[in-house]
Structure 1
Amino acid sequence: MLWVLFLLLAWAAAGVSCARLCLTSLRAADADTDVHADHAHHCHRLTLYEAAFLSGGPARVADLTLVSMARRRRLLLAHTGWATVVDPDGRDEMERSVIGAIGPGGQSRIASVRRSAATADPVRRLSDRLVAAGLAVPEAVRTSVADAVTQVRGAALGVCGLGALALMLPSQGFEEHRVLVALWFALPLVLTLSCLVIVRVEGQPCTRWASAEGVRVLGAVVERGGGDSADLVSVAVRGVGAVESAALRAAFGHR
């Protein structure tokens, strides 16, 4: 009856992880409700930097800044993966953080510039403003929910592993007994998978970075994007893969 011990472990992993996910999701929903009760930003007009953050987080903001500077010939992005400063005077704090990330030599790898710019103070201040406006998901909530989902996924894999071990035990006598054991392990597996499906469905109004209100406001950015800014709007919302220039795509894709 060693399989019973495996079954108890499976149920413990599934129960604890699913309970944590439910509690974390409830706290996240309460936090989002409290923010919307205190802040009404239905007429908030997003900047491209804000749209980039809500769509892809700090890394997307760094990408947008690099592409914007390259389009205005303030920065040269080579297809070999190097960034070279052409104009050392940044127009805003985002551009100045990129220039600072490149360094006094005026040239650096694009990958390292992206990492440094994404963690710079201007991006953190941008994040704080969006969270205060109720448009972005707070970092603590985002991290806790992501960790809880990861734990449930791990529990699902653990249930499968424990079930496989139980079925491989030499003490299992008859085929009917193996079917019974498989059914018992199927219950915690269904529990974990159901929680993941529910989170997937219920979480659709939000993204990893944008709150439900942020998603609504973000939709207006695409509608007003046009003319010379259309390419930058595409980068902000969809990433560097939406850049029309093949040379720029090659510069960001180089490793």
Structure 2
Amino acid sequence: CAGTYGTPPILMRSGIGPADHLGSVGVPVRVDLRGVGANLADHPEVEINCGYRGAVRSAPLLHSVATFHSSAAASGSPPDLMLWMPEPVALDEGTRVFEIDVLLLKPRSRGTVRLRSADPADPPRIDLPNVREAVDVDVLAEGFRRAQEVANRPEIRRLCADPPSPQIADDDELRRFVRTNVYSIPHVVGTCSMGPSSDDGAVVDALGRVHGTEHLFVVDASMMPTVPSGFTHIPTIMIAERLSEQIGALP
């Protein structure tokens, strides 16, 4: 239960993980599970600064959130975009900021968590997914366009002295902006993905039991096979509460 970044290294240094990778860092293989450390999913984000110059707090207390579907979303699917607007704040250097954060909620891009060595003191190598899939770039760019519309609304402009930035009209330029400026929020999940069979890349079953082992469980955000259409905090608590009851009831 060390989390999306921490659980895979513990398993891999114990010999549970992709056999070829374990062999490359000198760890004897106990259970060959190719899904350990794979399938790293996140909510990649870009932002637009609304140009606020009024009174601020040192940290935001109020947040406004709106989720919606992109033009690429399948009918009946969960929302795949979010606009997140924390109240204006002052940065460390005194700059006042009022941002609209654009989050891609259902990305297709995936990353990995891998060992640098067998040494437990050596931090893992984390390859964030960002927006390596072209469709993720397009959807996040569409969300940015929506954020531009909101930032230019009269209700927002009454509060903000400076124009929103960046102002990007050209579609190709916007795609380049997304690729260059995207960052992790981070809402990372998926590196010990839940599923019925290790043949499909799953690491744990629906109870959190690690495939191919006995009496070994994973209960944290790493077991979510896909990232939720929202913040990951509450789903992680729900998983922990539910599985703690079920595991505790086992003979």
- Normalization by structure 2: what TM-score? 0.26
Structure scoring higher RCO (CA < 8 A, sep ≥ 6) equals: 1
Structure with the greater alpha carbon radius of gyration: 1
Query: Relative to total residues, which structure has the larger strand share, 1 or 2?
Result: 2
Structure richer in helix, relative to its length: 1
TM-score, L = length of structure 1:
0.26
